[in-house]
Amino acid sequence: MDVIKVHEDEANQYDQQAAAWGWNPEVFFGLMWEYVRKGDRLLDAGIGTGLCSEPFRKAGVGITGFDGSEKMLGLCRDKQISDDLVVHRIEDVPWPYQDACFEHVIMGGVLHFFGSLRAIFKQARRVLVGPGAFAFNLSLLTTSDQNRHGVADGTPYVKVPDEASGVSIYKHSEAYILSLLGALGMTLEKRLSFLASCNPQTFEEHHSTLFVARKYT
């Protein structure tokens, strides 16, 4: 199933569903606030309806965003979160921006749709001005996951079914994420594991981990 089509079909209910499932996108701003200054420029890659960017806009940050779903971008535009929105898939590289043109890059609720993240992370680093902050969340591969799916030690990521989205998602090993950041010369500043959502019918919980890294060189 095409992830963009899923989001196109559910765009009008997306914000209500996110609230019902307990998604709190403010966690991005909460972990990044000390790096954020009024007038900074932030790129939200996979901006959707703008839930993650809204607290930054209220703090006086200039928001630029792209997403593969035209309907999601239309809803974001209606909220007046950003006047600079374009239709573009996060996996299509290079992104349509020049080098070193943003103080911050965020990716909220999007990376679990991809296995290899190397090309995406390279783009995030490319468009950042040092010491820019790069924040993203994803589902980490646990020992329990490895045992359940028969995954060998050292596996960077595994594809698993996801109840919430109706499509398969990827869980990534923490070692893989840290190795990517290190290879790109980015320094991990913060890491927070949190309850990202809870099915209001079955009460099944989905946990995610938010990373904040910075580009110093």
The model's pLDDT over 50-62, given as tens digits with 9 standing for 90+, comes to 999 999 999 999 9
The model's pLDDT over 144-187, given as tens digits with 9 standing for 90+, comes to 888 887 888 899 999 988 765 567 899 999 999 999 999 999 99
Q: Do the Cβ atoms of 84 and 65 come closer than 8 Å? A: yes
Instruction: Quickly list H helices, the chain.
Output: 3-10, 14-20, 26-32, 54-58, 70-78, 118-127, 143-149, 174-183
Query: What's the CATH code of the domain at 41?
Result: 3.40.50.150
- Per residue, the 3-state secondary structure of 25-72, as one string, reads CHHHHHHHHHHCCCCCEEEEECCCCCCCCHHHHHCCCEEEEEECCHHH
pLDDT at 6 over 90: no
Domain total for the chain?
A: 1
Closest CA to 120 of 89, 99, 143, 84: 89
The model's pLDDT over 189-207, given as tens digits with 9 standing for 90+, comes to 999 999 998 888 888 888 9
Percent of the chain's residues with pLDDT above 70 = 96
Distance CA 15, CA 102 (A): 26
pLDDT at 165: 55
Q: Structural domain of residue 44, as residue ranges?
A: 3-215
Q: How far separated are the first and last CA of the chain, in Å rounded?
A: 39
The model's pLDDT over 113-147, given as tens digits with 9 standing for 90+, comes to 999 999 999 999 999 998 999 999 999 998 888 88
